[in-house]
Amino acid sequence: MDIDRTTTAMLTGLFDPTNAAAWELFDRRYRSILIGFGRNCGLRENDAAEVAQETIVRFVEEYRAGKYDRTRGRLGAWLVTIARFRMLDQHRRRGVARIERGESAMVDLDDERSVTAAYEAERRQGVLREAIEELRTRSKTDPKTIQAFEMLVYHGLSTQHVATELGMSAHDVYLAKSRIAAKLREIVQRIESEYEEAPGEWDASGHRPSAGLGA
């Protein structure tokens, strides 16, 4: 494990306003998650980006002011609390326009359990995106193997379709899926340990275990 990537090391670095590396890691790790979280809660792209920016800035301010106590809850829970209030503000400001367009939030912001579940789902997807990117850029895995996995798992294409499209046998496509899923599980487990969040039992598709991703 790269100790500089752990949440503990990152938060320690955030105390120092001149520590650009800690800020960049925090921003890179959570901004895309918060944007996706905002979209899932019914915000438009630009509003979700605004909420993400406000949440990140507010968290760092409150953290440096000593308001965040890790012994009382996970970092993600604190971010959810901040983002939820920012999103409620967005909904209040834009409520009339949204009603006129017939839009509704995908997540009930008054239901804390629903909000937390939406954030966790997006966080798992964020970890998975990071894992796939690492597999692409830091391993010697054949790009075609990764492509076969993505076509099967994320695009829902049939084994035969993927085999024909990539010039592989159906057996090779199945092996590609199995091998990539196994590698992703290893990377995801390491990233989860770096995040120091309670690791959930979920598979390489970002969902709870299913037979479809078995080795």
Note the pLDDT tens digit of each residue in 68-126.
Answer: 877 666 888 889 999 999 888 877 776 544 544 445 556 778 788 888 889 998 998 88
Q: Inform me whether the pLDDT recorded for 214 exceeds 50.
A: no
Query: Which of residues 99, 126, 153 is at a domain's end?
Result: 126
Q: For residues 179 and 213, is the Cβ–Cβ distance under 8 A?
A: no
Determine whether 150 is exposed, middle or buried from the number of CB atoms within 10 Å of its CB (0-12, 13-18, 19+).
middle
> What is the number of other CB atoms lying within 10 angstroms of the CB of residue 101?
9
Query: What is the pLDDT, as a whole number, of residue 157?
Result: 94
Tell whether 169 and 95 lie within a shared domain.
no
Tell whether 83 and 147 lie within a shared domain.
no
Tell whether 81 and 159 lie within a shared domain.
no
Tell whether 143 and 122 lie within a shared domain.
no
For residue 170, what are the domain limits?
A: 139-215
Tokens 């009382």 -> residue: 72
Q: For residues 41 and 118, is the Cβ–Cβ distance under 8 A?
A: yes
Q: What mean pLDDT is predicted for residues 194-202?
A: 51
Q: What's the structural domain count of the chain?
A: 2
Tell whether 82 and 16 lie within a shared domain.
yes
From first CA to last CA, the distance across the chain in angstroms is 25
Query: Which of residues 126, 150, 181 is at a domain's end?
Result: 126
Tell whether 32 and 77 lie within a shared domain.
yes
pTM of the model: 0.71
Tokens 């796939």 -> residue: 132
Which candidate, 63, 33, 65, 69, places its Cα nearest to that of 51? 33
Q: What is the pLDDT of residues 7-34, one digit of tens each?
A: 788 888 888 889 888 889 899 889 999 9
